[in-house]
Chain A
Amino acid sequence: MKINCALIGSGNIGTDLMYKLKRSEVLNPLWMVGIDPESDGLLRAQKDGMKITADGVDGLLPFIKEDGVKIAFDATSAYVHGENNRKLAELGVKVIDLTPAAIGPFCVPSVNMEELLKDDVQNVNMVTCGGQATIPMIAAVSQVQEVEYAEIIATAASKSAGPGTRANIDEFTETTKLGIEQIGGAKNGKAIIILNPAEPPLMMRDTIHCLTTEEPDETAIRKSIHEMVVKMQKIIPGYTLKNGPVFDGKKISIWLEIEGLGDYLPKYAGNLDIITAASVNIAEQMAEEIQGV
């Protein structure tokens, strides 16, 4: 039997998640929670036969037990996530946090999923879109040898960045930096984000620079990067190594392009897909654990 899920937040991310979850073999998107009854996400969810509430997470809580909701995705904002999570945790719901709140441990499935499943954590944080795209590449280098410093530049099409992202740009830079260090394995990290308004909208691009402590082992790093790209393509097929790795002394540079699946927003919005696809990936593993019990 599929595991019932709730989507909290009816913006771009919540709505995209809805389409991805509808394809899942193990997850069933049952509830969509919003705060604006007129929001596009809620209207679409209702049309698709999901249960909806426009009263925020409190509108969902009374139905958690009777509807057997085991997993919730929170795509609201860092400011309300803490409260949402507290209420859901009391009812035994596992929470995938797509805000930059980072209450729970960071989750980048291709790097640390097994560890998180072993620890049976209640809440995981999905870092940021830029983090999901770039941390696997940094991890691919740091799995070979020590990375002194890693820096990423994430570029997203203006149309793919909602008001929440725009109002909280610092949370993106700071959370991504922490993810680069804690999950990517770089001793120090830095993140830069650019929103580009070009028409037609540009595909998401991510550039990664790593500085290794010692001279880089070119062959081993190339191999590790290519293996990680293959792993990422299983989560999101449009994950492409555009240029690099380019080696320049101890600096290694990688240029990615991320094409989305085009579920809610068009394919240029790879930044949306990379975080929603990764979230579905970890949630499916959690669901299998729950089913196994």
Chain B
Amino acid sequence: MDLRGKKITIHDMSLRDGMHSIRHQFTTEQMTAMSTAMDKAGVPMIEVTHGDGLGGNSLNYGYGLHTDEEWLDAVVPNMTQAKISALLLPGIGIVKDLERAVEHGISTVRVATHCTEADCSAQHIKAAVGMNLDTVGFLMMAHMADEKRLVEEARKMVSYGATTIYATDSAGYLLPDMVSSRIAALKAEFGDEIELGFHGHNNMSMGVSNSLAAIEAGATRIDASLAGFGAGSGNTATEVLVAVCNRMGVETGIDLDMIEDAAEDIALPIMGKPTRISRDSLTLGYAGVYSSFLLFAQRAEKKYGIDARTILVELGRRGMIGGQEDMIDDCAMEMARAKGLI
């Protein structure tokens, strides 16, 4: 694979996707420490919000230690060069939440829908464009749509005004050739008019490989996070991606030593237990299930006595998608009842 001379923008997820792995409990001090270190290391974009995006604070997804605004205020004023983004899932967050985030200094928004439901994003993408934001259409669970469908859905987001489109591997299910074909299909449709991005999860240990496949096929924005801090087995580790890019001659603008230090000295101690591929998080990738279901399924295992993997596989079989955390207890109770456990 020859990627020499390519330039990419790494978008760090530690302060948003990382929320999932600590139940949205980042302190503002931790947010400041991680973001400041990344800003100094040259990370150009950093996402900040509840793991489920603006408005994600809820009984369903978990209450954050702080509000999105408090988290943004702990990050935005300290940035010397990094731009801050927020995630917004229509159906969870609303345009009013976005307006507040803009007041608190975001310059990019990523409007996220399930990969077949892009027409739910019209209201939010149009509003974002109206606020002059760098507006990204974020197609989640991209393994559940084939290339043709993904292009159709992307076309809708572009028609509303999105200028970047992401193929988002929320389940960490995709293998490199599946990433290549999806990004290549988007590239064939949009050429250089629309920027393309890839968001990976490391559930099958494909984080870096999939990111390289995406870069080769034409993606220039790649999501990653410090020490892989993110849902499930985590995202692509930023420091590893930077190292690989350095060797392959891909320009990231990020200082390797400094990003390694940020991951090792700042992110890892905050993680509690290091993000790794466990039998449960591997199951997410294997069965194609939304990565943030992990901790919910593990808690359901404790409550109802059904193995987390069995619950996750069943959720995948039932076609549950991102945001359906409420169905995890429901499914576990049903299975426990069938076994006479409750």
**Which residues of A pack against B, CB within 8 Å?**
149, 151, 153, 155, 158, 163, 166-170, 172-174, 190, 192-199, 202, 205, 207, 209, 211, 242-243, 246, 251, 253, 255
Most-contacted residue by chain A among B59, B123, B321, B334 (CB, 10 A)? B59
Residues of A within 8 A of B323 (CB): 153, 192, 194
List chain A residues, Cβ under 8 A from B327.
Answer: 155, 205, 207
Q: Once the chains bind, are B120 and A207 in contact (CB under 8 Å)?
A: no
Q: Is the CB of B91 within 8 A of A202?
A: no
B277 within 8 A of A: no
What is B's interface to A at a CB cutoff of 8 Å? 58-60, 90-92, 94-96, 114, 116-117, 119-120, 122-124, 144, 318-321, 323-324, 326-327, 329-330, 333-334
Interface contact B120-A166, CB-CB below 8 Å = yes
B92: which of A149, A192, A205 is its contact (CB, 8 Å)?
A: A192
Closest to B317 in A: A198
Q: How far is the CA of A151 from the CA of B92 in the complex (A)?
A: 11
For B326, list chain A residues within 8 Å (CB). 153, 155, 205, 207, 255
Determine whether the beta carbon of B114 is less than 8 Å from that of A243: no
Known pairs A196-B321, A196-B324; A243 contacts B117 (CB<8 A): no
CB of B116 within 8 A of CB of A158, answer: yes
Given known A151-B58, A167-B123, A168-B123, contact A195–B117 (CB-CB < 8 A):
yes
> Which B residues touch A151, using CB under 8 A?
58-60
Q: In the complex, which residue of chain B has the Cβ closest to the Cβ of A209?
A: B59
Q: In the complex where A173-B91, A253-B329 touch, is A196 in contact with B320 (Cβ < 8 A)?
A: yes
The answer to whether A251 and B321 have CB atoms under 8 Å apart is no
Q: Which residues of B contact A158 (CB under 8 A)?
A: 116-117
Sample (6) of A-B pairs whose CB atoms are under 8 Å apart? A153-B60, A170-B90, A195-B91, A196-B114, A207-B327, A243-B333
The answer to whether B114 and A209 have CB atoms under 8 Å apart is no
- Chain B residue numbers with a CB within 8 Å of A196 are 114, 319-321, 324
Please, how many angstroms separate the alpha-carbon atoms of A192 and B117 in the complex?
15
B327's closest neighbor in chain A, by CB?
A205
Q: List residues of chain B with CB within 8 A of the CB of A170.
A: 90, 94-96, 123-124
